[in-house]
Copies of this chain bind each other. A is one copy, B any other.
Amino acid sequence: MSSGSPTFTGSNAEQTRRHNRCVVLGQIRRAGSMGRADMARASGLSVQAVSNIIASLERDGMLLEAGQRSRGRGLPAPQYALNPDGGYALGFEVRLHSTSVTLLNLMGELRLSQRLPLTDNDPSSVSRQLRQQMRTVLANTGVDSRLLLGAGVVMPGPFTPTGLANTSSVLPHWQDIDAGRLFSKALSIPVLVENDANAAAVGEHVSGCTESLSNYAFIYFGTGVGLGIVHQGQLFRGGSGNAGELGHILVPMPETGIAPRPGIPMRMTPLENMASRSTLLQRLAAAGLKTTTDAELEALAAADDPVLQQWLHDASASLSHAVHVVENLFDPDTVVLGGALPDAILTPLVEGISLAEHSTAQRTNRVMPRVMQGHSGAFSAARGGAALVINSLFTPHTLS
């Protein structure tokens, strides 16, 4: 089913208040702490309106007074800052054989993360396991369940426009399941479902190298290679929620002795055949190295393993091509690379990227580097899931 025109929905006083709360919270978050008059100026609201919103946020425990600040004459302004413990968000990553969970506080700080093996990945088994993990996390951190603002669940796509089901997914048994509704019922809190790249992209916004940016691209290394796009503070999801399939785009293949496929005019290959973790593992396996864990990969990196070095070389070249495409099509303020690779691999991969001079991104007035390294490691997707919830507090929901 195609998305059609979104039937925009009407607004009223209640939604206006919700919007303005988001605006105020977002400003406090970005500035660290602010006074009422500053917020009024920044938001265009009257001081009185800001004052009422502050009072309501303080009642809800989201804000704390943070001293006073005097700038020259006049009454010193009481400053307000986020209460880090004013709320928490859970993030889950559901994979074929494991589920991960993270807990972030309002400031986007990691409180706990945990991974469990998953034996049955049918919907009800997964729901049970997430529910169990939620209980464990709350018990281990002492966080009151009433402070949970929601959960973000990261799952492999593809998605359909009607919520979040998948057709020929990596996960069996999930055809046409509305995962959001399912988990929301199981966990008794609001749930957002996203793919790994989108979640990781938002994770970088909530705590990472793009906190001050609202337009950027995030290249995520999971099993394959994904792309999360943040545009004007919002995720770009595409018509059916499957935008950012960077791994599918064709890149020129370096001469590695592999024959070109028939039907493809040149020696082109999908990016995920060159620059994904599974490709690396395949190459290592072909060379007789049975490698699977991050620790093993780190050891190979430390030993300057030649197969790994060659892969890094080839993968960086392919990524350079992909980054060029992303820069020209999305015009991001920066391109961040991160995900489920150890830093020992990710860092040389990012450093190996060489960008063409001739590009829209080659502006004179840019303040960010064109390429940056973002969060990495096993929990970057789950962290991103929790970040989706945190981020939604600070970002007015522009639609609906």
Contacts and interface: CB of A to CB of B under 8 A. Distances in A.
Interface of A: 1-13, 15-16, 19-20, 22-24, 26-27, 30, 42-45, 49, 158, 160, 167, 212-216, 227, 231-233, 236-246, 248-250, 252-254, 265-268, 317, 321, 324-326, 328-333, 358-360, 363-368, 395-396, 398-399
A4 B16 CA distance: 24
Copies of chain A in the complex: 2
29 contacts: A2-B367, A4-B212, A4-B213, A6-B214, A7-B42, A11-B20, A13-B16, A158-B363, A160-B365, A167-B363, A213-B239, A236-B236, A237-B331, A238-B330, A240-B331, A242-B360, A243-B331, A244-B331, A246-B329, A248-B324, A248-B358, A249-B329, A250-B252, A250-B321, A325-B325, A325-B329, A326-B329, A329-B330, A398-B399
Given A23-B10, A250-B321, A5 B213 contact: yes
A30 to B, nearest CB: 6
A95 to B, nearest CB: 21
B333 A3 contact: yes
Contacts of A237: 231, 331
Contact of A359 (B4, B248, B326): B248
A238 B331 contact: yes
A45 B363 CA distance: 46
A363 B1 CA distance: 10
A256 B325 CA distance: 24
A360 to B, nearest CB: 5
Tell me the dominant secondary structure on chain A's binding face: loop
B244 A332 contact: no
Given A239-B215, A239-B331, A331-B242, A1 B233 contact: no
Contact of A240 (B213, B363, B395): B363
B329 A5 contact: no
B6 A233 contact: yes
A174 to B, nearest CB: 16
Contacts of A213: 2-5, 239
A336 to B, nearest CB: 13
B20 A10 contact: yes
Q: Nearest 4 CB-CB pairs, A to B?
A: A238-B331, A398-B398, A215-B239, A10-B45
Nearest to A254: B265
B3 A215 contact: yes
A3 B214 contact: yes
A21 to B, nearest CB: 10
